[in-house]
A and B are shown apart, each in its own frame.
Chain A
Amino acid sequence: MSGITTIEEARLRAAAEWWLRLREPEVSEATLLQWIAWSAREENLAAFERVGTLADDVRQLDDGSRGLLRRTVADQPASTGASARSAARKGGHRWLPLALAAGFAAAAAGGYLAWTYLTATVTRDYASTVAQRQDVRLPDGTKVALGGASRIQAHFDSGLRKVELSEGEAFFQIAPDETPFEVRVGQLHIRDVGTSFDVRRGGDRVMVEVAEGRVLVTAPGAGGVQEASAGQRIVYVPGVGLKVAQADPTRTAAWREQRLEFDNEPLDVVVASLNRYSRRPVRIADASLASLAFTGTIRTDAIDRWLEALPQVLPLRVEMRPSEVVLSSREVTARQ
């Protein structure tokens, strides 16, 4: 092999060195500072990412490809030590001793990770059905009001009180504790700082409204950090990010008093909320209606009345069928 011929290859070597260095068990303060300085150069970081991608690919290779590479290497001239060994065995399985040694290495790694303690974990599921509201108390004393057709999983251990909202809406009144409390909605993380707050999930869109205290919300990607305090709401839309807006604290989690409050929200989000309370499912037949904005209050005990009046507010047609309610666009009606 020729020596380093280009700046690019020198850069790749530095990147490869970093890849090895960052996989060491310990990372010193000096290493961290050097990494920050080195990776600040765009070309360096890009080289590192490329080396890392290849290295990860190689380490995750399937058995067939591994075999192919082993055979490729077996056809090449070997270094002196290995060739003496392989000559004795008539070539071919030069990698066998190392492959066997791999078993011992794995055992050693197990020892390194043999921690003497186990963390105690508590996991619980809670769910409500359509039009049902449910109050639950989590193992730490936190009170949760579950909206209709909503589901949470609490997963507590010594480091974190974690609750996953997989469907619907919930209002949290967090019990004070040293262990941090976090609500997760997909990739969105909501960290409480002594608080009560409401979280609503409508498809990929998430709304967090704070009644008391503060919450910190983080979304994946750059710039995905926001904070909200009492009287504020954060709306997360995938691809757009986090947005903070003022909210009316008297209307936060009004669903607990049978009112659904919407402030300039798309119709599909409104319908998703509605369907958690309506015994007859509501369906949007024309995709063009989904983005119509709605502001107002819906009483969960008078959903049908609201639906009947909806054509006065939005340009659409409502069809009350025995098993469902269909919202369609008005143009279709005009043509019929």
Chain B
Amino acid sequence: MDTVSSQSNGAGARTSEHVARLEELCRTHHRALLAFLQCRLQSPSDAQEVAQEAYVRMLTLERPENVDDLRAYLFRTASNLAMDRLRQRGIHARAVDEVAIREAQTAPPPERRAMAVERLQGLRQALGELPPKTREAFMAHMIEGLDFRAVANAMRLSERMVRYHVTRALAHCRARVDQLEEG
């Protein structure tokens, strides 16, 4: 059956084999895919939807046998879909039409705004332990929402250095919060 690629008959067998491969891929990489999408889209529900959409795209591939790395293809597909969604958000933010308004109204509210007191306390302690520049870069990017270029300009540093500081700060805050929460 595999060697016969007649349009009508071969399609069924090829499809079921492809579906089985996808199921396996879904099982082993779903978490990594979701984490990836959640980071890109900053929304758990959007991440979930895009992941599902990516699986559907993979399932409906015309010639799955031509894809040599299905895993990379899955992530690439999901990444492109996430990009489309980010663009659409830009459109929706601008288009004041009925649909955009309705969607905005039915969209779930941001998950959680206030932070647990202990965690906030841990964060304060962690920030106090950081070197001044690291702390400043973290505050400017994470709390004030400035992009790396703006922070770099304000601090007279290269963007690369700003990223280095934010990375260090994030890792340190996580480690400190973990330590305090574990007791």
Contact = CB atoms under 8 A, between A and B. Distances in A.
B114 A62 contact: yes
Contacts of B79: 27, 32
Interface string B138-154: 01101111110011011
Given A13-B171, A61-B113, A73 B127 contact: yes
Contacts of B88: 119
A79 interface: yes
A330 interface: no
B72 A115 contact: no
B102 to A, nearest CB: 8
B29 to A, nearest CB: 8
A98 to B, nearest CB: 5
Contact of B131 (A1, A119, A220): A1
B136 A78 contact: yes
Interface of A is mostly: helix
Nearest to B25: A225
Contact of A224 (B52, B76, B139, B156): B52
Nearest to B145: A102
Nearest to A5: B175
A123 B43 CA distance: 24
Given A76-B135, A113-B87, A227-B59, A60 B112 contact: yes
**Interface size range of chain A in the complex:** 35 or more
Contacts of A95: 139-140, 144
A76 B26 contact: no
Interface in A67-88: 68-70, 72-73, 76-79, 81-82
Interface string B48-76: 10001101100110000000000110011
Contacts of A101: 144, 146, 150, 153-154
A76 B173 contact: no
B161 to A, nearest CB: 12
Contact of A121 (B86, B97, B143): B97
Interface of A: 1, 8-9, 12-13, 15-20, 22-23, 27, 29, 32-33, 35-36, 39-40, 45, 48-52, 54-62, 64-66, 68-70, 72-73, 76-79, 81-82, 95, 97-99, 101-102, 104-106, 108-109, 113-115, 117-119, 121, 123, 155, 159, 180, 187, 189, 191, 193, 216, 218-227
Nearest first, the 10 closest Cβ-Cβ pairs linking A and B are A113-B90, A79-B132, A16-B170, A12-B171, A39-B32, A222-B30, A13-B171, A22-B39, A62-B113, A218-B52
